[in-house]
Structure 1
Amino acid sequence: MDKPKFGGQAVIEGVMFQSKDKMVTAIRRSNDDIEYFEMDRPEKAWVQKLKKIPVLRGNVAIIESSIYGMKHMEFATDRYERDPADDVKIEQEKQDANTARIVMSTIIVGILSFLVGKFLFTLIPVFIAEVFSGVVTSHVGQVFLESVFKLILLLVYIYAISMTPMIKRLFQYHGAEHKVINTFENGDELTVGNVQKHSRLHYRCGSSFILFTVLVGFVVYMFVPVDPFYVRILNRIALIPVVIGLSFEFLQFTNKVRNVPVLKWLGIPGLMLQLLTTKQPDGHQVEVAIKSFNKLLRSF
């Protein structure tokens, strides 16, 4: 019998792990205590049906993960650098505010932030490539140039933010998340020593998905016109859900064939990007990730 598949994400000073019906976050507080946040993943019938439709399910999964993930990130952020003695104040602040309005606003802001970010990373390279349209005139050349600029923009952005102390620590927890899942999937005992022996890279990572949107977009854009320019802009916007959906399918495929000698190389570009989006965690960070994962396992 195959082991269940788990996902996760790094949060401020902690890690969230999730199964198909449960999510658990563990964070380390300023007093060195570890605190947990748990929630069930609601199973809505219509969402489950959408998640069975190829290409469409990728968009559903991204939106769903963003909504639920933000709740865990909010939990961690609320407590970041706050004295645990102030927890009563945190709860009081939430009670004084309209909780439903805040949650809805957070969800809307999160979705809009994702869409704006996706639009920018999609359209800025288009405008840059158009600047060179007098030199690179062919359809293939323009799409290739656009994809190169998109990749450069992505790499520069990730590298720049990884230099900030907070994001660097977030990427260390990201590495700890991957190490724990790799240890579990390898059948090893979840100890700090064992976890540290495993790779901080993983085939199912969202970082790989981001890179695949660049590669898949290059292929998809070959089949649509780049002239006139306004048509190019419109089809890039219209094809965002298609590129997201196909990239999700490709990510799932690379995970399924990661142990096949030849096909495993399909996932290598995504793993290489994870060298930027993950950092080597220390023992304390790995400990938090292990506790989060064990807490999730106990819910089965």
Structure 2
Amino acid sequence: MSEKSTAVYGGQAVIEGVMFAGKHVHVTAVRRKDQQITFLEVPKKPAPFLTAIKKIPFIRGIVGIVESAAKGSQHLTYSAEAYAEDESGHEEEAKPKQKERWNLTMILGVALVGILSFVVGKLIFTLVPAFVESLIFGHAFENKILHNLLEGAIKIVFLLCYLWFISQTPLIKRLFQYHGAEHKVISAYEAGSELTVDAVQKYSRLHYRCGSSFIIFTVLVGIIIYSFFTWDTMGERIVQRIVLLPVVLGVSYEVLRWTNALRDVPVLKWLGVPGLWLQLLTTKEPNDDQVAVSIASFNRMRELDRQVSPS
């Protein structure tokens, strides 16, 4: 690859592997216990209505987030099943059943669980800090903007503590290493670099367009948006947070796109720094084997994309 690539790709770390989303297919590569790499390849089904919606600013972010939660859950489940098979020693028995497992009902069920998990998790992360802030500072002063700032600070503390805590477990640490491998491959591709392990390892494990950056932006954007509204009771505050959640998500997605577009502008590139800081927790430096899995997933995704659309 000699020229800088312009295509935009995204991915996700899974258990012992990486998923990449192409134009026509999602591909997950997983390193098995016997060191072989296996793949889950899920073609994208055209949905003209969703395609049209995803072109509308602020709306497209919400649609994309829900779609990512659904797809990501499916691929994470595949990797978890592969890991469980390896640990139990029954991988050979399970291989003939692999295609049977991923029937339409299973895919829809896993997608629904993924969406519900995201919604419930986001509601908890939004509402619990509001309760805590109100419990501690509710009667200390009347300034609503200051209450919003404290609520945002509590969210960030909760988030950092949660990420640090889970990163101490061996399985999550490896997941974060694969997350770093995913970023390195995308960065290498976007720079026009050759996709070899040695070349990819030279790139940063941090990336402006990461979902981790999106999380921190939802906190910062939420502080600003909530400041335009007021409340008198805790009940009103909670309802307000729930109603405004789609707005916060939609605006945060646009901010993420904006910071990614401006990352080469000397002054404006600092807008994306908070997200990069958070990635210091959500990514770890991958080893060569993990980078090799990420490259295999990316190359297989691009190969299948070219088969559908050679141009």
Identify the TM-score tier after normalising by the shorter chain: over 0.9
Q: By how many angstroms is 1:228 displaced?
A: 2.1
Provide the residue aligned with 1:244 in structure 2: 249
Are positions 1:254 and 2:259 aligned together? yes
- Following superposition, the deviation at residue 107 of structure 1 comes to 2.1
- After the TM superposition, which of the residue ranges 122-131 and 86-95 deviates more from structure 2? 86-95
The answer to whether structure 1 residue 35 and structure 2 residue 38 are counterparts is yes
Residues 69 and 93 (structure 1), Cα distance of their counterparts in 2 relative to 1, 3 Å cut: closer
The equivalent residue for 2:132 is 128
**Could you say which residue in structure 2 is the equivalent of 1:105?**
109
Q: Give the SS at the match of 2:7.
A: coil
SS at match of 2:85: coil
Q: How does 1:84-95 map to 2 (within 5 A)?
A: 86-89=91-94, 91-92=96-97, 95=100
Report the AA paired with residue 107 of structure 1: A
Report if the CA contact (8 A) 1:30-1:82 is conserved: no
Q: TM-score, normalised by structure 1?
A: 0.95
Deviation, structure 1 residue 103 = 3.0
- Root-mean-square deviation (CA, aligned residues, Å) is 1.8
Q: How many residues are treated as equivalent by the alignment? A: 299
Runs (4 or more) in structure 1 with deviation over 6 Å come to: none
Are the structure 2 counterparts of residues 190 and 98 from structure 1 closer, same or farther at C-alpha, using a change threshold of 3 Å? closer
1:148 alignment counterpart: 153
Pick closer, same or farther for the CA change 1:43–1:12 going to 2, 3 Å.
same
Q: 2:77 matched to 1:74?
A: yes
Provide the C-alpha distance between the structure 2 equivalents of 1:181 and 1:93, rounded to a whole number of angstroms.
29
Q: Which amino acid aligns with 2:107?
A: V
What residue identity is the alignment partner of 1:160? Answer: F
Tell me the secondary structure at the aligned position of residue 190 of structure 1.
coil
**In the aligned structure 2, how far is the partner of 1:89 from the partner of 1:189?**
36
Q: Please, which runs of 5 or more residues in structure 1 have no aligned partner?
A: none
Match of 1:55 in 2: 58
Q: Helix, strand or coil for the counterpart of 2:68?
A: helix
Deviation at 1:272, TM superposition (A): 0.5
Partner of 1:165: 170
Deviations, residues 229-262 of structure 1 (Å, cap 9, x unaligned): 2111101001111100000000000010100111
Measure, in 2, the Cα distance between the counterparts of 1:18 and 1:100: 19
CA distance in 2, matches of 1:209, 1:136: 31
When normalised by structure 2's length, the TM-score is 0.91
Does residue 1:182 correspond to 2:187, yes or no? yes
The answer (yes or no) to whether the contact 2:205–2:284 under 8 Å persists in 1 is: yes
Aligned to 2:309: none
